[in-house]
Amino acid sequence: MLALTWIVANEVALVKRRVSLVRQRAIASVPRTRSTAAQPVRMEDVARAVRVSSITVSRALNTPDKLAPATLRAVRAAIERLRYVPNLTAGSLASNRSHIVAVVVPTIANSIFAETINGLAQTLSQQGYQLLLGQTQYQVEEEAALVDAFLGRRVDGVVLTGVAHARGVRSRLHRAGIPVVETWDLSARPIDMVVGFSNRAAGQAAGRYLIAKGYQSLAFIGGTDDRSAKRLAGFREVARECGAKEVSAVLLPASSSPADGSAAVAGLLAKKAPRAVFCSNDMLAAGVMFECARRQVDVPDRLAVMGFADLPIALGIEPSLTSVQVHATEMGQRAGELLLRRLAGDAVRERIVDLGFAVVERASA
């Protein structure tokens, strides 16, 4: 019995070795050429499947409005069926267009900039343009590096946040000869075009609102970036004009988290606390109100709180937050429209677009 078991096991092992040898020989017999690899689907393959020219397929991808609806549907169906991936590099070399627009924002962590990006992306996508996104973390030197990198990739246009830039950025963009839109501020001398509002005027409006409510002891919590500094400057101008006390300011390293607002107001409350505080964004204001709730500091009877940007949290917090409303989504949409007009070769008469702002009164102030 033992001998029989050994014989069977030996035969099984022998069969396995033979099968392995056959497989190895079969693999070795296949010539190692590019013909054995899966070949990418070409534009010509799509054209052949639909029985149209390659130019028709190209139009379906780049200028679909020039094709008859039935032809466009047939080409798109073939692209989907064959899983054709267009060679965008080849197309950009032929047309001298990348169909990519670069957008530079301070951070993607703040939802207010996300609204602008969304409005811009929706507008540009209607003409087949895509976004290339970079964030500076509020550093102008980082913006300069991003601009160089984007120009090196031959983007068709650039959208920047703010009008204060590192030395050399303006001249490099002028030499590039592509449309540029600055956002989130205004300038009498934009690089090319600008869509936004006056941050200084927004700060002035916040000051007038709080002083009209009877608050004479004021404070400001915000970042050190250029736009926040302009809001503080406008806030202080109105306070001086109206005879209010000197505005105390807590300046943060360009941050916008509720935790930063909480820590900032804790420092103010430890001293002679103000009667009202204006925050350079709603996230900081939310942190201020959270800290007031923890300390049982009544808002607005003991401390009035005002934010900036009118984010969704302004309505979700209790009491609801008074804020300066800006048109973040429309800013992106208008910037996209200006870019598309310039890219189409049309003249742009209105190079400075002021969208304005509004003070939205709620329970916190």
Q: What is the CATH number of domain 43-86?
A: 1.10.260.40
pLDDT of 246-258, one tens digit each?
899 999 987 678 9
pLDDT at 272: 84
Starting from the edge strand earliest in sequence, which strands make up the sheet with 304-309, in order? Answer: 248-252, 218-223, 276-279, 304-309, 322-326, 357-360
Distance CA 77, CA 317 (A): 49
Q: What is the pLDDT of residues 9-45, one digit of tens each?
A: 344 344 344 434 434 443 344 444 443 445 788 889 9
Task: Please state, in angstroms and as integers, the Cα–Cα distance from residue 42 to each residue in 48, 84, 85, 94, 180, following that order.
Answer: 10, 7, 8, 16, 35
- For residue 249, what are its two tokens? 């300011």
Going by pLDDT thresholds of 50, 70 and 90, the confidence category of residue 89 is low
Higher-confidence position of 35 and 81: 81
Residue 231: in which H helix or E strand, if any?
Answer: helix 226-241
CA dihedral sign of residues 226, 229, 235, 236: negative
pLDDT of residue 91: 53
- Cα 256 from Cα 263, distance rounded (Å): 12
Helix axis angle for 69-82 and 43-50, nearest 10°, is 120
For residue 224, pLDDT over 50 is answered with yes
Mean pLDDT for all residues in the chain: 87
pLDDT at 19: 37
Residue 352 bridge partners (DSSP): 194
State yes or no: pLDDT of 242 exceeds 90.
yes
pLDDT at 231 over 70: yes
- DSSP 8-class letter at 34: G
Task: Of 207-216, 255-264, 279-288, 300-309, give the lowest mean pLDDT range.
Answer: 255-264
Is the separation of the CB atoms in 208 and 238 below 8 Å? yes
Q: Give the three-class secondary structure for 188.
A: coil
Question: What's the mean pLDDT in 330-354?
Answer: 95
Distance separating alpha carbons of residues 306 and 360, to the nearest angstrom: 10
DSSP assignment of 296-311 = T--TTTT-EEEEEE--
pLDDT at 132: 95
Q: What is the domain class of 98-197+329-356 according to CATH? A: alpha beta
Least confident stretch, 62-66, 93-97, 165-169: 93-97
- Predicted local confidence at residue 108, as pLDDT: 86
Q: Which of 77-86, 134-143, 228-237, 341-350 has the lowest mean pLDDT?
A: 77-86
> Does residue 319 have a cis peptide bond before it, meaning omega lies within 30 degrees of 0?
yes
pLDDT of residue 212: 97
Q: What residue segments make up the domains of the chain, in order of their start?
A: 43-86, 98-197+329-356, 199-325
Domain 199-325 bears CATH identifier 3.40.50.2300: yes
Q: Do the domains at 43-86 and 98-197+329-356 have one common CATH topology?
A: no
- pLDDT for residue 15: 37
What pLDDT does residue 351 have?
Answer: 96
Amino acid identity, residue 263? A
Inform me whether the pLDDT recorded for 313 exceeds 90.
yes
Would you state the pLDDT for residue 297? 96
The reported pTM is 0.76
Residue bearing the bigger pLDDT, 360 or 109 = 360
- pLDDT, position 63: 82
Instruction: Report pLDDT digits (tens) over 138-185.
Output: 999 999 999 999 998 899 999 999 999 999 999 999 999 999 999 999
Instruction: Specify the pLDDT at position 58.
Output: 86
Q: What's the gap between Cα 197 and its chain centre?
A: 18
